[in-house]
Chains A and B, each alone.
Chain A
Amino acid sequence: MNSGKQKREIPGTTMFDGDQARKGYALNKMCFSFNSAENRAEFLRDQDAYCAKYGLNAQQREAVRNLNVLQLIAAGGNTYFLAKLGGIFGLDMQDIGAQQTGMTKDEFKAKLVEAGRR
């Protein structure tokens, strides 16, 4: 699945374009459902059943099971929707940032503070 268009490469960055939107539709739709507390509870009761209900593919289910943000993005996940999945597990943006960059949370926070000094 590819638009065939020459894409701009930005290291460590995925622009959520049509290809990503097509690939990630089911995953993002599931995450969108987490705006409702009732749905969040249903997901927590049986994660696999909930993933199946939204028609997630094997790659997406695996990424959800691992709660691995880079895998979730590779599977078509969009940051704004993934944040709702992260929220269920109490992950904030520094947890998510640390996980993706392979840093500890403190290291990631220090990197942010450092960006203000430069």
Chain B
Amino acid sequence: MARIVGGINVTHVPYIGRAIANNLQQDPYWKPFFDGFPPVHEWLAKVRPDVAVVIYNDHGLNFFLDKMPTFSVGAAPEYQNADEGWGIPTLPPYRGDQDLSWHMIESLVEEEFDIVTCQEMLVDHAFTLPLELLWPGRKSCPVRTVPVCINTVQFPLPTAARCFKFGQAIGRAIESWDSDARVVVIGTGGLSHQLDGQRAGFINKEFDLMFMEKLVSDPLWVTRYSIPDLVELTGTQGVELLMWLTTRGALLGEVARVHSNYHIPISNTASGLMVMEGV
């Protein structure tokens, strides 16, 4: 059976794309952010994943408001990035893993998660940039991928409790896949930030740090908050922490923190990074 080697949660701010394209990793503004990654690269070299299940939220590239699935799973041989409208470089395609995709789809629906399946799926910065950060400087991404998208565009959003359970179902799906593949689960987004309204620029360091701590020791802690509570506490886009929580759910059982980094600000965002593995 396939094995989950661990989970990585990481911010996906679009301007990271520009920083990578312009080699700004050592620039004083970007350095505290990029310096978080070498320990993750070392960890990846050690655990050697073959496949990445990437849990992210689309920002109006693949999905429009005409059809807005709460949970969707990619089932394509390849995933294309595309122009998102504001000029960060478009990246080369990512290889899929249709066997794992369809196994996950079967298993998730069996567990009563009635996901949308996508045999064509454009992947935006929230999918591509974390992979570029985790495997930098390569012509193509060395792992096969399965995108899992959670709606954060249009309310109502799935509750934190639901996302945690969804993550657990993803974890069970991966672990029941008849394959000797090594799988890493990647959650992207957050942490606290708000782009819109008079409250734009809202950041909540205290909450973020508590969330990161609890994610390891007591992941159900955050499920006491409703989605509007989370918007109030972390900002309208801070709710992307749902991807982190889903990823934590997929790790099933107890975990230990391997590495973490937290830095304010990257663009309007409190950037976070965390590697966890099962104990």
- The reply to whether chain A is a binding partner of chain B is yes
B225 to chain A, nearest CB (A): 12
Residues 47-91 of A contacting B (Cβ, < 8 Å): 69-70, 73, 78-84, 86-88
Q: Chain B contact residues: over half helix, strand or loop, or mixed?
A: loop
A25 touches B65 (CB 8 A): yes
Stretch at the interface among B131-139, B178-186, B259-267: B259-267
B196 touches A10 (CB 8 A): no
Task: Say yes or no: is A2 at the interface (Cβ < 8 Å to chain B).
Answer: no
Task: Say yes or no: is A41 at the interface (Cβ < 8 Å to chain B).
Answer: no
Q: Which residues of A contact B203 (CB under 8 A)?
A: 112, 115-116
A93 touches B195 (CB 8 A): yes
Alpha-carbon distance A79/B85, docked complex (angstroms): 13
A88 to chain B, nearest CB (A): 8
Q: Mark B70-84, 1 if CB is under 8 A from A, else 0.
A: 000000000000111
Residue on A nearest B32 in the bound complex, by CB = A116
B195 touches A84 (CB 8 A): no
B195 touches A79 (CB 8 A): yes
B200 touches A116 (CB 8 A): no
Task: Say yes or no: is A45 at the interface (Cβ < 8 Å to chain B).
Answer: no
Which of B66, B82, B154 sits near A78, CB closer than 8 Å?
B154
Alpha-carbon distance A70/B60, docked complex (angstroms): 20
B264 touches A112 (CB 8 A): yes
A16 touches B155 (CB 8 A): yes
Q: Which residues of A contact B202 (CB under 8 A)?
A: 12
- Please give the residue numbers on chain A whose beta carbons come within 8 Å of chain B beta carbons, in ascending order: 8, 10-18, 21, 25, 28-29, 31-32, 34-37, 40, 69-70, 73, 78-84, 86-88, 92-94, 96-97, 100-101, 108-109, 111-113, 115-116, 118
**Would you list the 6 A-B pairs with minimal beta carbon distance, nearest first?**
A87-B86, A116-B264, A12-B199, A84-B85, A12-B198, A115-B203
Q: Could you list 22 A-B pairs, sorted by A, with CB under 8 Å?
A: A12-B202, A13-B236, A14-B236, A15-B228, A15-B236, A32-B65, A35-B60, A37-B83, A73-B196, A80-B59, A83-B59, A83-B195, A84-B84, A84-B86, A88-B85, A100-B200, A101-B198, A109-B265, A115-B201, A115-B203, A115-B205, A116-B265
